[in-house]
Amino acid sequence: MTWHARAKFSWIALAAILTAAVVLRARDKARPHFTYVGGTEDVVYGCNGSVQLTTASLTFRCDQRTVAISYVAVSLMQYRPDISKKVRKMDLNWKLKPPHGGGKKNRYFTIVYNEGGTSHAVILQVAPDAMRPYLAEIDLKSGKRVEVRGYESYD
């Protein structure tokens, strides 16, 4: 291989590596953002994070805190355009009251669970397009259904 051929190959390899890095970074930024908007946990309003689903638990991670919820402990999961009256009327020790509002698009993912003999709740705001892939996986891994308000199709 001549010097020019090696230099050309090096530039092509460098361009490929930089392109891969840009694509990976864009993919990480494109991950769905879940925002904590209410619940019984010590998390500030608006803490943006991600949800990770393992075989045993659902974990919400944001910069401030990580909340792991065992599927066994879950008593209710809803994805709706508002917070249901059923959840609002629960006698929970709310650290951050559930938001009011509604609309036609589902945006609030609510998880009610029991831990240490008391009921807890986590309310996350997430766009329908971002939540759609999670719905089936949550149903499958938890063995429980997410109650979805039927304003839009999830095909």
**Where are any strands of DSSP class E within the chain?**
34-39, 48-53, 57-62, 66-70, 74-80, 108-115, 118-125, 147-148
Regarding whether 101 and 43 lie in a shared domain, the answer is yes
List pLDDT tens digits, range 78-92. Answer: 999 999 999 999 999
Nearest to 79 by CA among 40, 107, 57: 107
Q: Is residue 153 part of a domain?
A: no
Stretches in the chain below the pLDDT threshold 50:
152-155
* pTM of the entire predicted model: 0.76
List pLDDT tens digits, range 11-41. Answer: 776 667 777 666 656 555 555 589 999 999 9
Here the CATH number for the domain that contains residue 119 is 2.30.29.30
Which domain covers residue 4, as residue numbers?
1-30
Regarding whether 36 and 101 lie in a shared domain, the answer is yes
Regarding whether 102 and 39 lie in a shared domain, the answer is yes
